[in-house]
Structure 1
Amino acid sequence: MQHFNKLAPLALAIATGLSANVYAGERVVIHVDNAEKASLIQQVKQDGGVVRVDADGFIAVEYKNKKLTDVSAQMAVKNPRLKVEADPIRKPLALFNDDVGNPSTKQITPYAVYQSQANQVPFQFSSSPKVCIIDSGLDRTNTDFDWGVITGDNDSGTGSWDVNGGPHGTHVAGTIAAANNGVGVVGMAPGAKLHIIKVFNEAGWGYSSDLAYATQKCTAAGAKIISMSLGGGGSNTAESNAFANFVNAGGLVIAAAGNDGNNVRSYPAGYPSVMMVGANDGNNAIASFSQFPSCTLNGKTDENTCVEVTAGGVDTLSTYPAGGATLPNLSTNVGAYASSAMENIGSASGATFYMGTAETINSNAAGKICMIDRGVISFHDKVNNCQKSGGIGAVIINNTAGMLAATLGTTNVTSIPAVGAAFEDRTALLAATSATVEVKAGDYGYMSGTSMATPAVSGVAALVWSNFPSCTGAQIRSALKKTAKDSGAAGKDVYFGYGIVQAKAAVDYLTQYGCAGNGSGGGTASITLTASVRYVGRTRYADLVWANATTSSVDIYRNNVKVLTTPNDGSQSNSPTAKGTYSYKVCNAGSTTTCSPTVTVTFTK
């Protein structure tokens, strides 16, 4: 399928995690007070370690000849307060139709914009949040951005942020913020303010500590949204704490569920502070590759550890580094049609000839454009039979709903331009008497993956937030979930979460109910609730403040379990016994429907 072929150079597959024994060339994270960091760094260097990340509260160190267990034991002797853990690898995770046309000459609106209602909401640039994209960089050669509002951070290990480390980051950025300028594509939040952090090295991956450090840079840059189309196995405290701190400060973190099509939990999407995004196609169906972890982890159910919403992530058209994509064009004597480039740069025009499934050579195709049905034999063999028949171009039409997006494989011996077409256009294409097929290098191309769905949700979040700048990230997250379009099985499920994100519905919801929303059960009272974290010595407090409850007392729920009934005086503190993420809501006494929105807090110590 296309989502494997197009992202293969960037190592799309999710890592399954690291064992306890981390060997040479891998890294460890050492948590340390900033006051003690200088002496620790000196000690690490004396022991043969190389400091790769020096961040607030931790360092990441690479040892050539030591295991994680060796480093842990050594640090325990020298300073028992130090915590040492593995530094897992993180990799990029790369009904509705795109507009028909060539993005080099006209502006194309990708199908996900329509599907997510982003075209129905005005983008308020002056009050819009800055989006921090942690990925492979944004290549300055693509001109479909407002470069005057884009900043970034260089990294000594990955190079300049505005020189791509592969097309992945540029594609992601276009889905969020491609300009509404009459050419190319248009993003969910056109011309949005971006901050780019390039974390992927030449091999196409980075570490969890890189993400934790990048989060601190996002904060310093003034970003309110972090978008990460990446993931890997294994959780990490430094990474988890960084995202929790960003969210507790009012931000929103969004990450990809993963592309392995199984129920494995990928990180950072699996942290409760991070909004996990799955992918759907243009027909509102879940993508076959979209991961679907359970909402229950270690016996605890938390809807913030599984897919919360989805967006279009199959055959997504977006920006590429200049000349880095293959761009198709398909037109007939009847009209122009959407298509997907398969292989072979070139252009051909001529009469059409229908070859069926093209299982054999047919001399009647000589000098013509072959119209071919999908099925029976490989795409490569179909195009090869067309070429051997004297055909000058090939169009392979899907045999199921939607666009055919594929390649001819790594052993391609054909040379004629070949494109894929949608099943819905089959009747019109077969009725045509002449056609033009073109495949050329371009600045725009297709990718598939939860990597593509994630920036769609990030862009919708920025779009909605630009209209309600006083809201917090948690409130925007809640609004997107409450107004998502239910798809798949009725109600919330592990594949879609609450459904396909809907920008207009979220704006209407916030217009009616305000940032606090209308509660989680559909009641008529608009109980508002905020929660903040406080520490007194070793005691943790979640300080709750609510308003608009209508009963003399209220019920307080923690992690969906009622923990207290208290007078309706507007405030209460709750003290969990362990660190971690907790959800709270306040309801009218005795009611499970007239409640506040659920809010979450994270205790990092």
Structure 2
Amino acid sequence: MKRWLWLGLGLSGLVACGGDPDPIDVVLPQACPGTTDQSLPGTASSALSAQEPADGVLITFKPRVAANALAATADFAAAVEREGGTVKRRFPGLHMVSARLSPDALAKLKQNPDVLFVEPNRRVRASGLPTPPPVVSWQGAFSTQGSVGEYTEGLKLVQAPQVWDANNDGILDPGAPTGEGVKVCVIDSGWDSKHPELKAAFVGGKDFVDRDDDPTDQSEAQGIVTVGGGHGTHVAATILAQFGAGSGGRVTPGQDPNGVVGVAPGASLLVARVLDVKGGGSTDDVIEAVQWCQSQGARIASLSLGADGSSESEQIAFERVWNNGNGLLSIAASGNDGTNGVAYPAGYLPSVMAVGAVNAQGEYAEFSQFGPQLSLVAPGVNVLSATVLGAASLSSLEAGPAPITSSPLSFTAQGSYTGRLVNCGLGTDRASCGESATCDGFVAYVDRGDIFFEEKARNVIEAGARAIIIGNNVPEDGDGAFTLGSASTHWVPTVSVSLVSGAAIKKLEGQDVTVNITGVDYQRESGTSMATPHVSGVAALVFSARPDLSAAHVRAVLEKTALDDTETPGVDDKYGHGIVQAAKAVELARTLPEGGGPLPLP
């Protein structure tokens, strides 16, 4: 049973023809117990953007002649604190600190003759959308045998199997470059340390968000652990998922039971977590991370993140690691707004390579940002890779005589529920389900339209729904690809169906239907975030074949051997030099003299 609440809303303050209107009664059922917890998300918010408030400022000061950089930075940090500021980070090698100050204190500090420039410690975001010590191989024994079924469309497009499985027999060729001996540092949202595709390759990590040595893609506050979306895990696995490692994992129907293999399955993994569980981070974390990566012996930093505007402080940091010794090759996503002009750090030439996206056929992806800074493109549409264990979802819907095709909504709860189908219309409030809804539970059918999906879900859950079916209203979208906006412990199994299927399901009102959501360990994602690790993996193969080459040499090799697009031959703003090609790059690298010699011209 459910109690109903009548709210008499007198409108005596309004005047209309014929006198005051009668009071209007709004009939609203009370929410079912336990469904209105504060943790339930509110209305959908926009994606993280460059307009998000900066996390304080970055202050660069004048270096002192013959002064110890560490001591000079400490002195300057003390000057900031004397003005009432709080110093967050210190970067002695860059003569820089990040800090938080009041507007008055900042204005006063800018008058300090030792200050070179001050800029916002701007926010960065994930694009699904940071002489080195000797490089050593990780100590695990990675498998040399798997299955050609692990070779994704993207892997084939960038020629990776041609480098280490030339005869396509599913066995790594003896002596072939696999990335072994090369450390790749993934600067992202952290990783899932339990995923079988990655754990053998991991050699170290640091969390710049929570300030500890555990870069797991999660955070804890007040005893509640929040798991991230798996962005960093997906990126890392695209680079170096292990051959044959996924056996026993949960895969989608039709997928190889071994999961996937990365572009450079023998490479070693460093993880630098700079993005929180919502996919956002700060510039100073990226600066500190890229310095840490080089200090750990990384040859490559892979950054599937960025911001719309440049940062002089950040650019200085990337130039420093590029010019230090043989250099750190930083590879970053161009961005997903589909506009002219790449994101940053991708736009810092030549210290960072900007990577755009193409589909599995090598065609430009409309979301991929472009411009003269673009270096290369790589697969970035529906890329299959690993994710946080069980975080991806597989749905099934049993309604009527035959199973109905459905798609799980992002952030849906997992589990199975069978119950009576109730038509809740557009789900605009708790009353939408009518008197058929009870707190004993039911399956809510809701049409697409009017309000955000998470609002619809919240309303019908408060009415007692234990599972939800969303009916699409756009025929060409099929089941649709929808999201509940954010994670919540209160969501229920939620799927979407096509317009045609929705019409058929509504005829089953009052009958029992079953909504089932199971977890899988791999998922397809799109974005320049997914293109970037393909290039990072190819770079690892080249370094593996020629560890004596500099970052500048490897960049030049990758650009010279790229597959030119047929639309606009030559270097152009949408494809850069073209699609990265592993076999050609390794072949050219092997012909270079010891130490690389003169850079190969594009």
User: TM tier, shorter chain?
Assistant: 0.5 to 0.7
TM-score (norm 1): 0.61
Does structure 2 retain, via aligned residues, the 8 Å contact 1:189–1:462?
A: yes
> CA, structure 1 residues 410+230, in 2 after alignment: closer, same or farther (shift >3 Å)?
closer
Which secondary structure state, in structure 2, belongs to the residue aligned with residue 222 of structure 1?
A: coil
Distance 1:347 1:156 in 2: 35
1:508 and 2:587 are equivalent in the alignment: yes
> CA, structure 1 residues 12+184, in 2 after alignment: closer, same or farther (shift >3 Å)?
farther
Does structure 2 retain, via aligned residues, the 8 Å contact 1:394–1:416?
A: no
> CA, structure 1 residues 466+327, in 2 after alignment: closer, same or farther (shift >3 Å)?
farther
Distance 1:315 1:10 in 2: 24
1:41 and 2:45 are equivalent in the alignment: no
- The 5 A counterparts of 1:221-232 are 221-232=296-307
From 224, 233, 242, give the equivalent of 1:170.
233
> CA, structure 1 residues 63+284, in 2 after alignment: closer, same or farther (shift >3 Å)?
same
> CA, structure 1 residues 177+438, in 2 after alignment: closer, same or farther (shift >3 Å)?
farther
1:274 and 2:274 are equivalent in the alignment: no
Which residue of structure 2 lines up, in the alignment, with residue 57 of structure 1? 94
Which residue of structure 2 lines up, in the alignment, with residue 85 of structure 1? 119
1:597 and 2:598 are equivalent in the alignment: no
Structure 1 unaligned regions, length at least 5: 1-7, 95-104, 296-305, 331-337, 349-379, 381-391, 421-436, 518-527, 531-595, 599-605
From 520, 529, 539, give the equivalent of 2:598.
529
Which secondary structure state, in structure 2, belongs to the residue aligned with residue 260 of structure 1?
A: coil
From 322, 326, 340, give the equivalent of 1:263.
340
> CA, structure 1 residues 245+26, in 2 after alignment: closer, same or farther (shift >3 Å)?
closer
1:76 and 2:111 are equivalent in the alignment: yes
Per-residue CA shift, 1:185-215, capped at 9, x if unaligned?
2111114211111112355322222222112
- The 5 A counterparts of 1:160-309 are 160-165=213-218, 166=228, 167-181=230-244, 182=247, 183-248=258-323, 249-250=325-326, 251-272=328-349, 273-293=351-371, 295=372, 306-309=373-376
Question: Quick one: which amino acid aligns to residue 258 of structure 1?
Answer: G
Per-residue CA shift, 1:341-376, capped at 9, x if unaligned?
56776799xxxxxxxxxxxxxxxxxxxxxxxxxxxx
Which secondary structure state, in structure 2, belongs to the residue aligned with residue 446 of structure 1?
A: strand
Does structure 2 retain, via aligned residues, the 8 Å contact 1:177–1:190?
A: yes
- The 5 A counterparts of 1:426-445 are 440-445=518-523
1:27 and 2:57 are equivalent in the alignment: yes
Which residue of structure 1 lines up, in the alignment, with residue 150 of structure 2? 108
The alpha-carbon deviation at position 49 of structure 1 amounts to 1.5
Does structure 1 retain, via aligned residues, the 8 Å contact 2:155–2:263?
A: yes
Question: Quick one: which amino acid aligns to residue 15 of structure 1?
Answer: A
From 184, 190, 206, give the equivalent of 1:153.
206
Which residue of structure 2 lines up, in the alignment, with residue 140 of structure 1? 193
From 533, 536, 543, give the equivalent of 1:455.
533
Distance 1:12 1:227 in 2: 22
Distance 2:100 2:381 in 1: 40
Does structure 2 retain, via aligned residues, the 8 Å contact 1:91–1:231?
A: yes
Which residue of structure 1 lines up, in the alignment, with residue 400 of structure 2? none
Question: Quick one: which amino acid aligns to residue 319 of structure 1?
Answer: A
Distance 2:108 2:114 in 1: 9
Which secondary structure state, in structure 2, belongs to the residue aligned with residue 184 of structure 1?
A: coil
Q: Which of the two has greater strand per residue?
A: 1
> CA, structure 1 residues 260+395, in 2 after alignment: closer, same or farther (shift >3 Å)?
closer
Which secondary structure state, in structure 2, belongs to the residue aligned with residue 185 of structure 1?
A: coil
**How high is the sequence identity, in percent, across the aligned residues?**
34
Question: Quick one: which amino acid aligns to residue 141 of structure 1?
Answer: K
Give the greater-gyration-radius structure (CA): 2
Per-residue CA shift, 1:130-170, capped at 9, x if unaligned?
11111111121222114354211233645554320421111
From 287, 293, 310, give the equivalent of 2:377.
310
Which residue of structure 2 lines up, in the alignment, with residue 603 of structure 1? none
Does structure 2 retain, via aligned residues, the 8 Å contact 1:347–1:417?
A: no
Question: Quick one: which amino acid aligns to residue 598 of structure 2?
Answer: L
1:481 and 2:559 are equivalent in the alignment: yes
The alpha-carbon deviation at position 106 of structure 1 amounts to 10
Distance 1:398 1:313 in 2: 26
Distance 2:45 2:555 in 1: 29
Does structure 2 retain, via aligned residues, the 8 Å contact 1:160–1:198?
A: no
Per-residue CA shift, 1:215-270, capped at 9, x if unaligned?
21111101111110110033223311221122223221100000111013311000
> CA, structure 1 residues 323+202, in 2 after alignment: closer, same or farther (shift >3 Å)?
closer
> CA, structure 1 residues 503+399, in 2 after alignment: closer, same or farther (shift >3 Å)?
farther
Does structure 2 retain, via aligned residues, the 8 Å contact 1:316–1:452?
A: yes
Does structure 2 retain, via aligned residues, the 8 Å contact 1:262–1:291?
A: yes
Which residue of structure 1 lines up, in the alignment, with residue 103 of structure 2? 66
Distance 1:126 1:456 in 2: 13
Does structure 1 retain, via aligned residues, the 8 Å contact 2:356–2:369?
A: yes
Distance 1:9 1:224 in 2: 40
> CA, structure 1 residues 119+509, in 2 after alignment: closer, same or farther (shift >3 Å)?
same
Does structure 1 retain, via aligned residues, the 8 Å contact 2:209–2:273?
A: no
- Number of equivalences: 428
The alpha-carbon deviation at position 107 of structure 1 amounts to 6.1
Does structure 2 retain, via aligned residues, the 8 Å contact 1:261–1:288?
A: yes
Using CA pairs below 8 Å that are at least 6 residues apart, which structure has the higher relative contact order?
2
The alpha-carbon deviation at position 125 of structure 1 amounts to 5.3
Over the aligned positions, Cα root-mean-square deviation in angstroms equals 4.3
Distance 1:467 1:215 in 2: 24
Question: Quick one: which amino acid aligns to residue 311 of structure 1?
Answer: A
Distance 2:471 2:541 in 1: 40
The alpha-carbon deviation at position 45 of structure 1 amounts to 2.2
Distance 2:123 2:58 in 1: 11
Distance 1:339 1:312 in 2: 26
